[in-house]
RNA sequence: GCUGGCGUAGCUCAGUCCGGUAGAGCAGCUGAUUUGUAAUCAGCAGGUCGGGGGUUCGAAUCCCUCCGCCAGCUCCA
């Protein structure tokens, strides 16, 4: 009998007979490993434990501690769910059922949508199947036989998948879970050895989806669920979902009276007084950051003639996303969906010298995008939005340095908010415009800039825009969710379209390169992100109300008013709670509003010229002279605490 | 835009299945209380039941339609 030699991660090797399943390797190492084994990686490929070893190579056993385990487990859980569904709803057709970042889903064609009771029933069935510890058995079927089988079983979608995914193959792999009914699914695998490995899962929601995500195809019902390696992890995830609900910016926005929506202006926020204060704080912060970095602020029109959009190409490519104004006597007009064309006109409005470059136009005016009604969502997806937009006009030789400056700017901004982030470089797509050398140079410049700025990044091959490569930044908030915020895009096309030029040192005309860039992204989305990041407990420098004066009784109103005036004169955002309520009541309200400082003023304070300071999270801090409090507060604002520190979710504050 | 769910007082929600002219808590207002670190007591007021149309003697409730919100799909220069 022939033998193969396999190498283990510790460098040791052993010889086994050809065709030995990897399971036996695990068993040969230790009984514990065999028990903990989920799958194996043979020569870099993830395979089932049942996979027979055919040639010499490396073997690593995947256990619950391996990074590969979780997606594998979730994929297997999706199969388990499909088994439960076909068992409970005969005639249900299966689509696809992959693992996702947060769990898994599986799509089905069924007679009616799933309701919550269905999910409970399916979950119970899954638990039952898991308890029986049924093996996931891999079978290789002749391709034609598999097609015939699924055709006969009334699963045309599976037949279609086999045809598309296994063209030219003689055999296809299928997995079975054998209960009273046998569930068979076409799938490359691999899977956990048996359903007993699936111990911590939960179905979360059902919704509509389309076969292959295309609305022209058959409508399907998708069930989402999640699975983890332990109950503890599952519970932690469910707790996090609860926490996310508590932090929902729509809820906190209403509670703190930051913004509102009205059905007569869908997708456009009304900024209430406190929200406007917050907005202005952010807008001024950004101005204060950009001005020293060499930016100038401009304001360009909101409505433009169609001609502008034809020049920019938006009329051809983006018109369906723009609000058009059609008046009988004029050419069509359109509300701007981006600032760039306006900035190009400003750039072109005077002769530009190489000595002037880089030129950086910053603009915060509102933009309008006609988003489909179904995608609107709170502040995160709106029709009226404002960006911390800017366009940098540079010489090609300046790209790397300019992008490096941008990266450093971004690093500073996010650290001021205590936000972590990750950076992606998106490179040339298949349908690019322009010369390939230009692209190569641009991509090299971006990489150079990333390295110079000490910025780690990943590469999204082929995900750039058709007019240039870009850098996208995903911000991670205090509870680990990602939000796409900053974006830096190189653009060689628009300068052509708008015939932008500058006079170089050689006294000849040259084409500048444009960098489209934003750091917040949009104010709307960024504020939504910040609300959820801080859970409404604003650091002092951002808080719409930084301090509230709480007089103990009516006779302290006058003193409270004087305290308020002094704080306001120092530039602090301060209010007084003048209601005839007990101090405990006023404190409770202020706590719920998450006002950073509560200043209790009674007889003692009025007599001594002090305030008794209560911190939102620190509690009673004792009496302090008014001036001392002001000085401390201004210092805290200047240092942007606590946002400048590692974000500490104040979840304990309810 | 598509699929499903939802829309009742400022907010959170009950009432809708089985049609009989709207209910709670909080917020608000008034009065009493003058309060020392997370809810003082009492009273009052507040609603075109998302809009329009229909069925019916009678519609928050049943039907049609439009709008909005939520989840998901698709989209996101």
Tell me what the mean pLDDT of segment A206-228 comes to. 76
Q: What are phi and psi of A370, to 5 degrees?
A: -85, 80
Q: Which residues contact A298 (CB under 8 A, 6 or more apart)?
A: A342, A343, A346, A361, A362, A363
With a 7 Å cutoff on the CB, does A195 touch strand B? no
pTM attached to this predicted model: 0.85
Question: What strand order describes the sheet that includes A182-186?
Answer: A136-142, A171-178, A182-186
Q: What is the predicted pLDDT for the residue at A216?
A: 63
| Any strand B atom closer than 7 Å to A463 CB | no
Judge whether A517 counts as a catalytic residue: no
pLDDT for res A544: 96
Residue A186 bridge partners (DSSP): A174
Paired tokens of A431: 């349908």
pLDDT in tens, A99-142: 887 788 888 887 766 766 777 788 888 888 888 888 888 888 88
Q: How far from the centroid of its chain's Cα atoms is residue A164's Cα?
A: 32
- The spacing between the Cα labelled CA in A350 and the C1' in B51, in angstroms, equals 53
* Distance of alpha carbon A400 from alpha carbon A284, whole angstroms: 28
Report the pLDDT averaged over residues A6-32: 84
Tell me the C-alpha to C-alpha distance, in Å, between residue A282 and each of A57, A285, A333, A526: 58, 5, 31, 10
User: Is A144 near strand B, with its CB below 7 A from some atom of it?
Assistant: no
Q: Which residue is nearest to nucleotide B34 (CA to C1')?
A: A553
- Of all residues in chain A, what percent are helix, strand and coil, respectively (each to 5)? 35, 30, 35
Active site annotation includes A470: yes
Gap between the Cα atoms of A73 and A52, Å rounded: 21
pLDDT of residue A643: 42
For B2, nearest residue by CA–C1' is A215
Which ranges in A492-592 belong to alpha helices (H)? 493-497, 523-534, 557-569, 583-592
**Each residue's pLDDT tens digit, A136-186:** 888 888 888 888 888 888 888 888 888 888 878 888 888 888 877 778 888
pLDDT > 90? residue A560: yes
Backbone angles phi, psi at A540, to 5 degrees: -55, -40
Query: Mind giving me the DSSP string for A340-355?
Result: HHHHHHHHTTS--BTT
- Is A642's pLDDT higher than 70? no
The answer on pLDDT for A646 being more than 90 is: no
Task: Check residues 225 to 254 of chain A and report those whose beta carbon is under 7 Å from nucleic acid strand B.
Answer: 250, 254
What are the Cα distances from residue A304, in Å, to A337, A390, A599? 10, 19, 51
Residues 555-574 of A with CB under 7 A from strand B: 555
Here the contacts of A312-317 (C-beta below 8 Å, separation 24 or greater) are A312/A340, A312/A341, A312/A344, A312/A494, A312/A497, A312/A498, A313/A493, A313/A497, A314/A338, A314/A341
Choice among A138, A197, A202, A516 that is catalytic? A516
- Predicted confidence (pLDDT) at residue A301 exceeds the cutoff of 90: yes
The interface predicted TM-score (ipTM) is 0.93
Reply yes or no on whether A632 is catalytic: no
Residue A1 is predicted with a pLDDT of 63
Q: Is A54 (CB) below 7 Å from strand B?
A: no
Q: Report the pLDDT value the prediction gives residue A650, as an integer from 0 to 100.
A: 41
Task: Give the nucleotide with minimal C1' distance to the Cα of A613.
Answer: B37
Question: Phi then psi for A240, rounded to 5 degrees?
Answer: -65, -35
Q: Whole-angstrom Cα distance, residue A401 to residue A398? A: 6
**What interhelical angle do A523-534 and A273-290 show, nearest 10?**
110
Provide, in whole angstroms, the distance separating residue A234's CA from nucleotide B41's C1': 47
Question: Is it the case that residue A347 has pLDDT exceeding 90?
Answer: yes
- A81 compared with A167, residue with greater pLDDT: A81
Using CA atoms, how far residue A215 sits from A107, A174, A205, A585, in Å, is: 14, 28, 20, 54
Query: Quick check: A654 CB within 7 A of strand B?
Result: yes
Query: CA–CA separation, A172 vs A192, rounded Å?
Result: 19
Question: Across-strand partners of A476?
Answer: A420, A482
Question: A607: helix, coil or strand?
Answer: helix
Share of chain A above pLDDT 70, in %: 96
Does the pLDDT value for residue A649 go beyond 50?
Answer: no
Where do the domains of chain A lie, and which CATH numbers do they carry?
3-62 (3.10.20.30), 69-246 (3.30.980.10), 266-300+336-416+489-533 (3.30.930.10), 547-639 (3.40.50.800)
In the residue annotation, A369 being an active-site residue is answered as: yes
* A614 strand B contact, CB < 7 Å: yes
**E strands, A29-170, where?**
37-42, 45-47, 57-63, 93-94, 104-109, 136-142
The confidence score (pLDDT) of residue A328 equals: 64
Partners of A202 in the β-ladder? A226
Question: Is A340 part of the annotated catalytic residue set?
Answer: yes
A652 has pLDDT over 60: no
Q: Taking all residues of chain A, what is their mean pLDDT, rounded to a whole number?
A: 87
Surface-to-core class of residue A362, CB atoms within 10 Å of its CB (0-12 exposed, 13-18 middle, 19+ buried)? buried
pLDDT band with cut points at 50, 70 and 90 for residue A44? confident
- A49, pLDDT greater than 60: yes
Task: Give the nucleotide nearest to A316 (CA→C1').
Answer: B77
Q: How confident is the model at residue A223 (pLDDT cuts 50, 70, 90)?
A: confident
Nucleotides of B under 7 A from a protein CB: 1-5, 7, 11-12, 28, 32-40, 67-77
A2 touches strand B (CB under 7 A): no
CA angle, residues A456, A478, A377, in degrees to nearest 5: 100
Least confidently predicted of A225-229, A275-279, A518-522: A225-229
Measured CA to CA, the distance from residue A487 to residue A472 in angstroms comes to 5
| pLDDT given for residue A648 in this prediction | 41
pLDDT exceeds 60 at position A647: no
Average pLDDT over residues A291-301: 96
Q: Which residues contact A350 (CB under 8 A, 6 or more apart)?
A: none
Average pLDDT of span A490-498: 90
A167 touches strand B (CB under 7 A): no
**Length A238 CA → B48 C1' (Å):** 42
pLDDT at A654: 33
User: Sorting pLDDT into bands at 50, 70 and 90, what band is A438?
Assistant: confident
Residue A506 a catalytic site member: no
């Amino acid at each position: 009998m022939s033998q193969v030699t396999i190498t283990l991660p510790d460098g040791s090797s052993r010889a086994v007979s050809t065709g030995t399943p990897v399971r036996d390797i695990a068993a040969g190492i230790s009984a514990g490993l065999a028990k903990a084994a989920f799958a194996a990686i043979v020569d870099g490929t993830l395979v089932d434990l049942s996979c027979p070893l055919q040639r010499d190579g490396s073997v690593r056993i995947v256990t619950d501690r391996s990074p590969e385990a979780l997606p594998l487990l979730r994929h297997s859980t999706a199969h388990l769910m499909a088994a439960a569904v076909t068992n409970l709803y005969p005639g249900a057709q299966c689509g696809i059922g992959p693992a996702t970042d947060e769990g898994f889903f599986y799509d089905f064609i069924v007679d009616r949508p799933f309701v919550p009771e269905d999910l409970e029933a399916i979950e119970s069935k899954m638990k039952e199947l898991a308890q029986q510890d049924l093996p996931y058995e891999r079978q290789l079927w002749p391709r034609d036989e598999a097609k015939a089988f699924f055709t006969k079983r009334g699963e045309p979608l599976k037949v279609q998948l086999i045809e598309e995914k296994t063209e030219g193959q003689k055999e296809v792999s299928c997995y079975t879970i054998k209960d009273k009914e046998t569930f068979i699914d076409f799938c490359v695998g691999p899977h956990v050895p048996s359903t007993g490995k699936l111990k911590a899962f939960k179905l979360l929601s059902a919704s509509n989806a389309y076969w292959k995500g295309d609305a022209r195809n058959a409508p399907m019902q998708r069930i989402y669920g999640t699975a983890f390696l332990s109950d503890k992890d599952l519970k932690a995830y469910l707790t996090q979902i609860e926490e996310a609900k508590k932090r929902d910016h729509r809820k906190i926005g209403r509670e703190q009276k930051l913004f509102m929506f009205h059905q007569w202006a869908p997708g456009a926020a009304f900024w209430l007084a406190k929200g406007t204060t917050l907005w202005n704080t952010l807008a001024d912060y950004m101005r204060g950051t950009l001005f020293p970095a060499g930016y100038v602020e401009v304001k360009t029109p909101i409505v433009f003639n169609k001609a502008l959009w034809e020049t920019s190409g938006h009329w051809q490519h983006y018109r369906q996303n723009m609000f058009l104004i059609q008046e009988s006597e004029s050419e069509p007009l359109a509300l701007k969906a981006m600032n760039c064309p306006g900035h190009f006109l400003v750039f072109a409005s005077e002769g530009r010298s190489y000595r002037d470059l880089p030129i950086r136009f910053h603009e915060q005016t509102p933009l309008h995008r006609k988003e489909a009604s179904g995608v609107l969502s709170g502040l995160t997806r709106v029709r009226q939005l404002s960006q911390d937009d800017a366009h940098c006009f540079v010489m090609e030789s300046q790209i790397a340095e300019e992008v490096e400056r941008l990266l450093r700017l971004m690093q500073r901004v996010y650290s001021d908010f205590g936000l972590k982030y990750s950076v992606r470089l998106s490179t040339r797509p298949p349908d690019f415009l322009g010369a390939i050398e230009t692209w190569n140079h641009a991509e090299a410049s971006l990489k150079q800039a990333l390295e110079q700025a000490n910025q780690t990044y990943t590469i999204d091959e082929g995900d750039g825009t058709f007019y240039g490569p870009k850098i996208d930044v995903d911000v991670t908030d205090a509870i680990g969710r990602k939000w796409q915020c900053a974006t830096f895009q190189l653009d060689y096309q628009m300068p052509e379209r708008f015939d932008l030029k500058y006079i170089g040192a050689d006294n000849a005309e040259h084409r500048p390169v444009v960098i489209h860039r934003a750091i917040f992204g949009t104010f709307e989305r960024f504020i939504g992100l910040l609300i959820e990041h801080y859970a409404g407990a604003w650091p002092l420098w951002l808080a719409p109300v930084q301090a509230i004066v709480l007089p103990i009784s009516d006779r302290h109103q006058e003193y409270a008013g004087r305290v308020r005036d002094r704080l306001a004169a120092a530039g602090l955002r301060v209010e007084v709670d003048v209601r005839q309520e007990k101090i405990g009541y006023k404190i409770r309200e202020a706590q719920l509003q998450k006002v950073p400082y509560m200043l209790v003023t009674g007889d003692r304070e009025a007599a001594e010229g002090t305030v008794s300071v209560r911190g939102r999270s620190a509690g009673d801090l004792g009496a302090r002279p008014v001036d001392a409090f002001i000085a401390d507060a201004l210092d805290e604002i200047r240092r942007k605490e606590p946002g400048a520190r590692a974000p500490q979710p104040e979840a304990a504050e309810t």
